[in-house]
């Protein structure tokens, strides 16, 4: 319903329009009348009408000045002008200020209603347009972090941008720094996307700056922080390590650089990768500045790090990276002109090392097949094809495992819910924030999508199922303990009501049916 204010210095016109129009039936609400522009302006400020139906010539303040004042003060009001013959120039001035309609006095009821309807349609269209723009902006801001992450990831991976393109994206994505502090985290041991995702969430949660940008690249978490003091950065890294250790019994090796240009991310990232692998071999869990890494020593044992790249690519299910590493490996064999027997021996050692370091549950079977048939190969090309086929299957299996991350997230939610079932304040939001470090809204939608039901209903059913099992053990007079143990408080009566609603029997009735 649209609100309307009538302004005219002639009372007979004011009251005539006020009484003749069937306001509510037409979808309008008359909020008042005024006899001049000054009084109308006061009522606009007080009531914020949608439409003002106003005369032009009035004492104290005329209609033109009223429109100008309302526009200057920023009120969203539509004007319909009432004008007598000979006032066309004044009416034209009103239209220039944004008045929607120009009606000649006297106007019929039908003419006024038609003008009101037309203005109402324009208001509705304007509101819909504003709502659409608002929704579009909200969607943009919602996805902006993801687009920003992708842009930074592209820079790390060596994407090429002209200076103009670079500045456009930096401005569009609200990246307000060109120089930043960079931290690369590497988790010790076997990786899953879940581990990396949790680590990234912790980094963002504990970040000393809300403008930090973090992302996952292959098997590492990389975070850019607007320039911060080195001691602040180290303190933050130690907090991240400490909190991560509360969820996973594994160490994190960390390398950082206090000042790096966004234009240098790709080259520095490759350098930090080498350094992080060195740390993981020497003493996992250390925090080093990039300059502390002995790169000359590392280059002497470069072959080992190539193998670790292959291992990490396998663990992440990265098909392209596995293919690149195998291509690089066989290029080394060819460049060194290694004989087939030596290559076979080297590959056997490689596979045994991968099995030990990677701890893939399905790797042993593939190794046995390879070792059983490798002696039949007669050329390096045949051997390479055999290895590629084997690794393709391995990476596909691990990739499928990673693809099941959403299922694992739901399973983790259920696991933690079961572990905390006795907590009567247990909720999806609490679990999402305390244990899973994911957005509760996202987790709620994911749970419904994966299970077909809302979490609170699933939780209640879990509680009733546990209560049924406990009733098989406890005596009837300990129902209050069962209620407390399944997180339904100290109110046995409430527990009994819910139990009966779900099972069709009260706890005591259920107990009788399970005696024998």
Q: pLDDT tens digit string along 319-348?
A: 777 888 888 888 877 877 777 777 777 777
Q: Which stretch of 323-332, 347-356, 489-498 has the lowest confidence by average pLDDT?
A: 347-356
Please indicate, yes or no, whether residues 501 and 461 belong to a single structural domain of this protein: yes
Q: Could you give the CA distance from residue 90 to residue 62 in angstroms, rounded to a whole number?
A: 10
Note whether residue 150 is domain-resident.
no
Pairing of strands 220-226, 213-217: antiparallel
Q: What percent of the chain has pLDDT over 90?
A: 20
List Cα–Cα distances, 429 to 123, 406, 452, 489, in angstroms: 40, 17, 18, 20
Does residue 378 have a pLDDT over 90? no
Q: What percent of the chain has pLDDT over 70?
A: 80
CATH number for the domain including 463? 1.10.10.60
Domain termination site, one of 402, 437, 465:
402
Cβ atoms of 54 and 79 within 8 Å: the answer is: yes
Please indicate, yes or no, whether residues 117 and 7 belong to a single structural domain of this protein: yes
Please indicate, yes or no, whether residues 106 and 23 belong to a single structural domain of this protein: yes
Does residue 304 have a pLDDT over 50? no
Does residue 36 have a pLDDT over 90? yes
Does residue 516 have a pLDDT over 50? no
* The pLDDT value given to residue 296: 57
Note whether residue 409 is domain-resident.
no
Note whether residue 71 is domain-resident.
yes
Domain range holding 496? 421-515
Please indicate, yes or no, whether residues 449 and 345 belong to a single structural domain of this protein: no
What does the pLDDT average to over 436-454? 82
Q: Which of 29, 23, 33 is nearest to 53 (CA)?
A: 33
Does residue 179 have a pLDDT over 50? yes
Domain termination site, one of 293, 317, 334:
293
CATH number for the domain including 78? 3.40.50.2300
Domain termination site, one of 293, 328, 356:
293
* The pLDDT value given to residue 352: 67
Does residue 469 have a pLDDT over 60? yes
Note whether residue 411 is domain-resident.
no
Cβ atoms of 98 and 67 within 8 Å: the answer is: yes
Please indicate, yes or no, whether residues 39 and 92 belong to a single structural domain of this protein: yes
Note whether residue 229 is domain-resident.
yes
Please write the tens of the pLDDT for every residue from 196-242. 888 999 999 999 888 899 988 877 899 999 888 899 999 999 999 99
Cβ atoms of 216 and 201 within 8 Å: the answer is: no
Does residue 126 have a pLDDT over 70? yes
Question: Cα-flanking dihedrals φ and ψ of residue 222, to 5°?
Answer: -120, 130
Please write the tens of the pLDDT for every residue from 68-79. 899 899 898 999
For residue 416, count other CB atoms closer than 10 A to its CB. Answer: 17
What does the pLDDT average to over 301-316? 60
Please indicate, yes or no, whether residues 319 and 289 belong to a single structural domain of this protein: no
Q: Which secondary structure element, helix H or strand E, spans residue 477, and what is its range? A: none
Please indicate, yes or no, whether residues 370 and 430 belong to a single structural domain of this protein: no
Please indicate, yes or no, whether residues 315 and 272 belong to a single structural domain of this protein: no
Listed ranges 99-103, 224-228, 435-439; the one with the highest mean pLDDT = 224-228
Rounded CA Rg of the chain: 36
Note whether residue 18 is domain-resident.
yes
Does residue 402 have a pLDDT over 60? no
Please indicate, yes or no, whether residues 373 and 275 belong to a single structural domain of this protein: no
- The domain total for the chain is 4
Note whether residue 480 is domain-resident.
yes
Mean residue pLDDT across the chain: 81
What does the pLDDT average to over 40-66? 92
361 vs 218, residue with greater confidence: 218
Please indicate, yes or no, whether residues 272 and 375 belong to a single structural domain of this protein: no
Task: Place 147 in a pLDDT band, splitting at 50, 70 and 90.
Answer: confident
Does residue 403 have a pLDDT over 60? no
Question: Cα-flanking dihedrals φ and ψ of residue 31, to 5°?
Answer: -100, -5
* The pLDDT value given to residue 178: 84
* The pLDDT value given to residue 475: 58
* The pLDDT value given to residue 20: 92
Please indicate, yes or no, whether residues 108 and 14 belong to a single structural domain of this protein: yes
* The pLDDT value given to residue 61: 93
Does residue 151 have a pLDDT over 80? yes
* The pLDDT value given to residue 406: 58
Does residue 252 have a pLDDT over 90? no
First to last CA, the chain: 68
List Cα–Cα distances, 417 to 58, 466, 486, in angstroms: 72, 12, 11
* The pLDDT value given to residue 300: 45
* The pLDDT value given to residue 360: 56
Does residue 356 have a pLDDT over 70? no
148 vs 34, residue with greater confidence: 34
Does residue 43 have a pLDDT over 50? yes
Does residue 515 have a pLDDT over 50? no
Does residue 392 have a pLDDT over 50? yes
* The pLDDT value given to residue 514: 55
Does residue 154 have a pLDDT over 50? yes
Note whether residue 16 is domain-resident.
yes
Does residue 4 have a pLDDT over 50? yes
Task: Place 301 in a pLDDT band, splitting at 50, 70 and 90.
Answer: very low
* The pLDDT value given to residue 442: 79
Which residues does residue 215 pair with via DSSP β-bridges, in sequence order?
Answer: 222
Q: Which of 501, 500, 465, 496 is nearest to 483 (CA)?
A: 496
CATH number for the domain including 233? 3.30.70.270
For residue 438, count other CB atoms closer than 10 A to its CB. Answer: 18
Question: Cα-flanking dihedrals φ and ψ of residue 26, to 5°?
Answer: -90, 0
Listed ranges 50-64, 271-285, 440-454; the one with the highest mean pLDDT = 50-64
Please indicate, yes or no, whether residues 180 and 247 belong to a single structural domain of this protein: yes
């Amino acid at each position: 319903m649209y609100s309307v204010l009538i302004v005219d210095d002639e009372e007979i016109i004011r009251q005539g329009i006020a009484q003749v129009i069937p306001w509510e039936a037409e979808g309008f609400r008359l909020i008042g009348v005024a006899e001049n522009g000054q009084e109308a302006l006061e009522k606009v400020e007080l009531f914020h009408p949608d439409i003002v139906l106003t005369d032009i010539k009035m004492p104290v303040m005329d209609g033109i000045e009223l429109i100008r004042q309302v526009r200057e003060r920023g009120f969203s009001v539509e004007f319909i002008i009432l004008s007598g013959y000979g006032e066309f120039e004044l009416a034209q001035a009103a239209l220039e200020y944004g008045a929607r309609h120009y009606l000649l006095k006297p106007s019929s009821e039908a003419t006024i209603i038609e003008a009101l309807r037309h203005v109402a349609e324009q208001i509705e269209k304007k509101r819909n347009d504003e709502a659409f723009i608002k929704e579009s902006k909200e969607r943009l801001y919602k996805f902006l972090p993801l687009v920003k992450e992708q842009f930074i990831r592209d820079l790390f991976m060596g994407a090429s941008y002209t200076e103009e393109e670079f500045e456009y994206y930096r401005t569009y994505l609200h990246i307000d720094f060109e120089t930043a502090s960079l931290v690369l985290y590497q988790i010790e041991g076997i990786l899953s996307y879940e581990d990396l995702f949790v680590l990234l969430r912790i980094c963002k949660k504990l970040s000393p700056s809300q403008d930090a940008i973090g992302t996952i690249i292959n098997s590492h978490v990389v975070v850019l922080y607007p320039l911060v003091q080195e001691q602040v950065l180290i303190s933050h890294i130690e907090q991240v390590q400490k909190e991560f250790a509360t969820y996973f019994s594994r160490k994190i090796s960390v390398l950082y650089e206090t000042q790096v240009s966004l234009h240098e991310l790709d080259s520095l990232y490759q350098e930090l990768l080498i350094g992080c692998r060195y740390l993981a071999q020497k003493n996992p869990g250390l925090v080093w500045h990039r300059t502390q890494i002995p790169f000359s020593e590392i280059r002497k044992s470069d072959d080992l790090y190539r193998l670790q790249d292959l291992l990490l690519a396998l663990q992440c299910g990265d098909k392209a990276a596995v293919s690149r590493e195998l291509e690089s490996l066989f290029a080394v064999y060819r460049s060194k002109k290694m004989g087939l027997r030596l290559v076979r021996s080297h590959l056997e050692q490689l596979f045994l090392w991968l099995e030990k370091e990677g701890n893939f549950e399905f790797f042993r079977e593939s190794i046995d097949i390879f070792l059983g048939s490798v002696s039949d190969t007669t050329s390096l090309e045949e051997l390479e094809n055999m290895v590629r086929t084997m690794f393709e299957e391995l990476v596909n299996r691990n990739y499928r495992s990673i693809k099941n991350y959403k299922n694992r997230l739901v399973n983790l939610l259920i696991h933690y819910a079961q572990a905390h079932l006795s907590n009567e304040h247990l909720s999806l939001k609490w679990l999402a924030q305390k244990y899973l470090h994911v957005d509760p809204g996202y987790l709620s939608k994911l749970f419904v999508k994966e299970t077909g039901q809302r979490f609170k209903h699933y939780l209640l059913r879990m509680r009733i199922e546990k209560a049924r099992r406990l009733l098989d053990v406890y005596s009837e007079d300990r129902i209050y303990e069962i209620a407390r143990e399944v997180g339904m408080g100290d109110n046995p009566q409430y527990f009994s009501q819910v139990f009966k609603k779900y099972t069709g029997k009260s706890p005591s009735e259920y107990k009788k049916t399970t005696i024998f």
